[in-house]
Amino acid sequence: MSRFKFLSLWLGIFLISCSTDQGTGPNANDQSETIDVSENRKSVGDSAADLLDDTNFTGLHLEIFYVEGLKPSVTTLDNFETFLNERLHKSDGVSIELTEISSPGQAVYSITDIRNFEEDIRTAYNQDGTIKIFGLFLDGEYSENTKNGSVLGVAYRNTSFVIFADTIREFSGQPLAPSTTVLETTVLDHEFGHLLGLVNVGTPLQSAHQDEVHGRHCTTEDCLMYWTAETGEGLVNMISGGTIPQLDGACLADLRANGGK
């Protein structure tokens, strides 16, 4: 993509039907036990409480794959880990594992493509008190892009998200645009906000702040989950000066009521 595109964070709108698959999974290796992969193939928001509280899962592990050349920066990952530790009760902590992969070789990816790719390469599934998340920093662009908006990321399962890293770098390379690190952090936080059930997709509302016209987003203009983060102009306004948007009081109240900090 050579021309400037507006950005769109159509995040967490695509709720994928629950899979009932079971199997050893690629992470079984030499283990004799069977891994129930269906627990990681539910709809966005279905694992919100398990992510937020410490009842069923005391640890969180993120398995993040990135296409060669699209590795998230150390600062991006530090920012993201801080965001998680500020919101989640995980007495055994949060860990992030990075794995470089070759490009799948497509210029455009649909959600079906991404789901299939995840099933080919994912190795980490919920096990032994640790909830596990799959993340993918992908090249190419999303099939739902339009001339008015380019998708930066999608939360498409209860424990899965994709970041369109090429699109992020294209935008961050424009004059006066936010840095790649700021943009990556914003997208990661927003994506994970949907996995945590925001807004009203697995984490119940404690007040009336869902912008139903624009889907699972917040009505507060400077909130991380506000709908104008879906457009380039809105996103630039939100992160002007290099400030990463934060969750507002209403979203924080929702998370706390559902077991978060």
**CATH number, domain containing residue 176:** 3.40.390.10
For 225, 237, 258, the CA distances from 248, given in Å and listed in that order, are: 8, 16, 16
pLDDT of residue 177: 82
222 inside domain: yes
For the chain, 261 residues long, the average pLDDT of each consecutive 10-residue run is 38 31 42 78 98 98 98 97 98 98 97 97 97 97 85 94 92 83 92 96 98 92 80 60 90 98 97
29 inside domain: no
Query: Which amino acid is it at 78?
Result: D
Task: Please state whether the predicted TM-score (pTM) of the whole model is above 0.95.
Answer: no
User: Sign of the CA dihedral 232, 118, 22, 31?
Assistant: negative
- Domain range for 101 is 7-24+34-257
pLDDT of residue 1: 41
Taking a C-beta distance cutoff of 8 angstroms, is the pair 10, 190 a contact? no
198 inside domain: yes
Ranges of H-type helices in 69-179: 74-87, 111-121, 165-172
pLDDT of residue 79: 97
Q: Which residues contact 211 (CB under 8 A, 6 or more apart)?
A: 199, 217, 218, 219, 226, 227
Alpha carbons within 13 angstroms on the beta-carbon side of residue 25 total 22
Domain count, the chain: 1
pLDDT of residue 236: 57
Q: Which residues contact 166 (CB under 8 A, 6 or more apart)?
A: 1, 70, 138, 139, 140, 141
2 inside domain: no
1 inside domain: no
pLDDT of residue 90: 98
Structure token digits, residue 16: 């994928």
For 130, 220, 228, the CA distances from 61, given in Å and listed in that order, are: 7, 31, 30
Distance between CA atoms of 175 and 4, rounded to whole angstroms? 11
